[in-house]
Amino acid sequence: MSTDIIASIKQGPMRPVQVLAVTICVVINMFDGFDVLVMAFTAPSIAAEWSLGPQSVGILLSSGLFGMAAGSLFIAPLADRFGRRSNILACLAIISAGMFASAFTNSVFELATARVVTGLGIGGILASLTTITAEYSSSKRQGFAISMVQSGYPVGATIGGTIAAFLIVAFGWRSVYLFGAACTLAMIPLVYRYLPESLEYLLERRPRGALGKVNLLLGKLGMAPLDELPESPRTDRARQNHARQNNVLELVSAPLRASTLLLWCAFFMVMLSFYFVLSWTPSLLTEAGLRTEQGISGGVLMNIGGVLGGATLGLLTARFSAHRLTSLYMALCVVFMVLFGMLEGNLGPMLAVGFVVGYFIFGSIIGLYSIAPDIYATALRNTGMGWAIGIGRFGAIIGPSAAGFLLAQGWSGAQCFFAFGVPLLISMAAVLRLQTRPHGGLAPN
């Protein structure tokens, strides 16, 4: 049975093909981290060149996130039908096109449109990266592997922010988008050559040539080849009917309804705060007295904290409950966000506390990514992940735009940091409640 093959992979050591799959996903998410936050890095320069106010900057910061929401809701679920690898290749092409177009825009509308296109690809790709990582990781290493992939996001933002600061000074903000387009485009041949398709997808969906692809993967995994594909719980007709079903309705039907809604709430609330912090911190630091490149460095420092926070959480999930760790990270993040706001004007302490805020807020979001895959079975996993991320993206859209509106109304940066701690507390409550919910017995691991 296909379940026996998957179980032996989950229980055994990670082979080179599994490590390579996870590594490629890490690298892709590094470039995604840069592509998402490039707007935060370039916003001060664009605002100065185009004479933009806070609300216009907020629109630009949210436009890419709007595209990410749409990509998560409508592109990511296609991977359950056409394959995770095919989805990743298509999304990389979309991201490259959007980043390249961004470099040649001359108005808020044009740049916002290009950022929506970029966001479509990024939103569509994230669920597949998490799904492939979860499926190719051993049970013992799954939490750590997912945290490493998600930690690629702040790593990419950190390295990218450093490069962006240099490029802006030397060549202007448009060069930053061209750099991102080139890096993303370079990943396409690497993914095509080295990233394997999901073995669970091949065994369950059985696309054309599935047996040969399965045997190739089994050989790399040190397992004997198959003479024929193992029996599936569904017949061919049942599989065809399943492909036509609206998987989204399954997410909100018993016994998954409560778990799905709690997961959506957690993602929405944490992303509301996450993208406010990541999008506005460089600009707020610049307004507090730092030069543009120093403000970017402050954002980079926050991302460095995020790398350490995500890696630490990944290591701890091997010994402690991911739900409780994630909740603890959220609570501590609120504490340090309040402290960050109280230090407004004291630049040195603000940078130090900003590092700690990055540590806990990235750990919070990575914790959610670690929890989500085990809620859903293979046939629903990408759809479940995609919709959870997509719902979260609406929070991500609202966060930067709401902050821009509040700042335009006279709110201080400190008041915004106080206010955006509240959604994290709501997300924490949802995660703790999610821990007590049964998930319908659908998850294979």
Confidence of residue 267 (pLDDT cuts 50, 70, 90): very high
Here the tokens at position 436 are 């007590």
At 354-372, the pLDDT tens digits run 899 999 998 898 888 888 8
20: pLDDT strictly greater than 60: yes
181: pLDDT strictly greater than 90: yes
The total number of structural domains in the chain stands at 1
The type of residue at 303 is: N
Residue 442 lies in a domain: no
What pLDDT is stored for residue 405 in this prediction? Answer: 84
The arithmetic mean of pLDDT across residues 246-269, rounded, is 86
The type of residue at 23 is: T
Confidence of residue 443 (pLDDT cuts 50, 70, 90): very low
425: pLDDT strictly greater than 90: yes
The Cα–Cα gap between 364 and 270 comes to 7
Residue 350 lies in a domain: yes
At 37-54, the pLDDT tens digits run 788 789 889 999 999 887
Here the tokens at position 100 are 């390249």
Residue 366 lies in a domain: yes
The Cα–Cα gap between 114 and 74 comes to 18
Residue 400 lies in a domain: yes
The type of residue at 41 is: F
Confidence of residue 175 (pLDDT cuts 50, 70, 90): very high
What pLDDT is stored for residue 445 in this prediction? Answer: 35
What pLDDT is stored for residue 110 in this prediction? Answer: 96
Burial of residue 20 (CB within 10 Å: 0-12, 13-18, 19+) is middle
Q: Are 145 and 129 in contact (CB under 8 A)?
A: no
Most confident residue range from 70-74, 136-140, 436-440? 70-74
Please tell me whether the peptide bond between 400 and the residue prior to it is cis, using omega within 30 degrees of 0: no
What pLDDT is stored for residue 251 in this prediction? Answer: 84
The arithmetic mean of pLDDT across residues 277-291, rounded, is 74
Residue 154's domain spans which residues? 2-435
What pLDDT is stored for residue 3 in this prediction? Answer: 64
Nearest to 204 by CA among 177, 242, 168, 178: 242
What pLDDT is stored for residue 442 in this prediction? Answer: 41
pTM, two decimals, is 0.74
Q: Are 230 and 5 in contact (CB under 8 A)?
A: yes
122: pLDDT strictly greater than 70: yes
What pLDDT is stored for residue 141 in this prediction? Answer: 78
Query: What is the dihedral sign for C-alpha 429, 391, 252, 200?
Result: negative
380: pLDDT strictly greater than 50: yes
Here the tokens at position 225 are 């080849």
| Domain CATH number, residue 303 | 1.20.1250.20
The type of residue at 335 is: V
What pLDDT is stored for residue 9 in this prediction? Answer: 75
In the DSSP assignment, the letter for residue 40 is H
In the DSSP assignment, the letter for residue 13 is P
* Cα–Cα separations (whole angstroms), residue 382 to 98, 200, 232, 265: 23, 12, 19, 18
Residue 359 lies in a domain: yes
The Cα–Cα gap between 350 and 389 comes to 30
The arithmetic mean of pLDDT across residues 102-126, rounded, is 94
Q: How many residues does the chain have?
A: 445
Here the tokens at position 320 are 């402690």
166: pLDDT strictly greater than 50: yes
Nearest to 211 by CA among 223, 228, 195: 228
Residue 376 lies in a domain: yes
The arithmetic mean of pLDDT across residues 409-425, rounded, is 89
Here the tokens at position 273 are 């705060």
The arithmetic mean of pLDDT across residues 263-273, rounded, is 94
Nearest to 226 by CA among 241, 235, 236, 216: 216
* Cα–Cα separations (whole angstroms), residue 287 to 58, 260, 349, 401: 15, 40, 16, 18
Cα dihedral 304, 306, 308, 309 in deg (nearest 10): 160
Say what percent of the chain tops pLDDT 90: 31
At 182-226, the pLDDT tens digits run 999 999 999 999 999 888 888 887 888 888 888 888 888 878 888
What pLDDT is stored for residue 80 in this prediction? Answer: 81
What pLDDT is stored for residue 188 in this prediction? Answer: 96
* Lowest-pLDDT range of 41-55, 96-110, 209-223, 254-268: 209-223
